[in-house]
Amino acid sequence: MEEYMIEKIETKAAPAAIGPYSQAVKANGMVFASGQIPIDPATGSIIEGSAADQAKQVFRNISAVLAAAGTDITKVVKATVFLKDMGDFGSVNEVYSEAFKDAPVLPARSAVAVKTLPKDVQVEVEVIALA
């Protein structure tokens, strides 16, 4: 029987999980990161401002989780962007483009509008990356 390694990824440089989940899980050379919302890990507070302002914090949190897993944003192969309002797509897309500017290949992506997000934030992003 083949053995699989599943490793919990956890860092204080990103918001702690606020429910029964891990910040990320590393398995078989992949990192599956839970959705990140714009919480400042130092204060535990939601970043106020526009969806773009919130997206900047989201990508700081994603980068911290990926670093804890021994990888970085240039290794992301799939991203899912959740928006409270699809009208914010353009401004969040600018932040997204900046976050992935050094990636040799841009990740596959889905972007969807949802009725509400945790803590009533404007944006949440989850990623899958190579370890």
Sequential pLDDT tens for the chain (131 residues): 566 789 999 999 999 988 899 999 999 999 999 999 999 999 999 999 999 999 999 999 999 999 999 999 999 999 999 999 999 999 999 999 999 999 999 999 999 999 999 999 999 999 999 99
Tokens, residue 76:
């992301």
Q: What is the pTM of this model?
A: 0.95
Could you give the CA distance from residue 109 to residue 129 in angstroms, rounded to a whole number? 12
Sign of dihedral through CA atoms 103, 29, 60, 37?
Answer: positive
Could you give the CA distance from residue 72 to residue 47 in angstroms, rounded to a whole number? 23
Could you give the CA distance from residue 72 to residue 103 in angstroms, rounded to a whole number? 10
Could you give the CA distance from residue 68 to residue 71 in angstroms, rounded to a whole number? 7
